[in-house]
Amino acid sequence: MSRLIVWRHGNTDWNASHRVQGQTDVPLNAVGRQQAVDASELLIKMRPDMIVSSDLHRAADTAAALAALSGLTINYDKRFRERYFGNWQGLTMAEVAELYPDQYERWTHGQEVGGEVETLADLGRRVSEALHAAAELSPPGGTVVVATHGAAARQGIGHLLGWPLEQLRTLRALQNCHWVELTHDRERGWQVAAYNVGPFTDRPVPPPV
């Protein structure tokens, strides 16, 4: 049985201020760096065979904490980048609601936003393709850890599993440095083994943007 661990990056200052990151290359803050260390101490027990990461620093530096413990080399794949949010990037969600009320309303209802924002269909497709590629590169029955982003993780997993948007919306956003465990075998295909697993945190969940 093969296993994919789809891991959201640690906290950033933009997460903390509810600012839309998208593909802006925002670094981890001190909290996020500690989260990456704490999560890596749990993930190393799963004996990862390979680490793949988005090339954006907040994901890459999260992956680096696990690489330091495991001795594994990080493979980078741009397809694991966060959703591109166009003009929203750099704005707080309150500012998005004020400046782009129609788009914001569609976003809150899980609909395609329009404008410059990457479509959910395109996001799911590219991340799912990258997940397939990562799984194919792993040894038979191996465990691959993928460091990525909140919206990218959820939409990519949904596309991989063939879930409709309505079903995907029933999942809570991944907390920073938490992950989804997916397993695969010939009879059952891909299945969710665990969701939103990670180090303890008492912080509110930032939006996956």
Cβ count within 10 A of residue 57:
15
Asked if 109 is an active-site residue, the reply is no
Cα dihedral 105, 126, 180, 57 in deg (nearest 10): -90
- Phi/psi of residue 64, each to 5°? -60, -30
The owner of tokens 């569609």 is 106
Cβ count within 10 A of residue 181:
17
What is the C-alpha to C-alpha distance for residues 196 and 153, in angstroms, rounded to an integer? 11
Write down the catalytic residue from 9, 149, 159, 178: 9
Burial letters 7-41, b for 16+ CB under 10 A, else e: bbbbbbebbeebbbbbbbebebbebbbbbbbbbbe
Rg (CA), the chain: 16
Asked if 82 is an active-site residue, the reply is yes
- Is residue 205 within 8 Å of residue 172, measured between CB atoms? yes
The owner of tokens 């410059």 is 116
Write down the catalytic residue from 41, 57, 82, 95: 82
Query: Which residues form the catalytic set?
Result: 9, 82
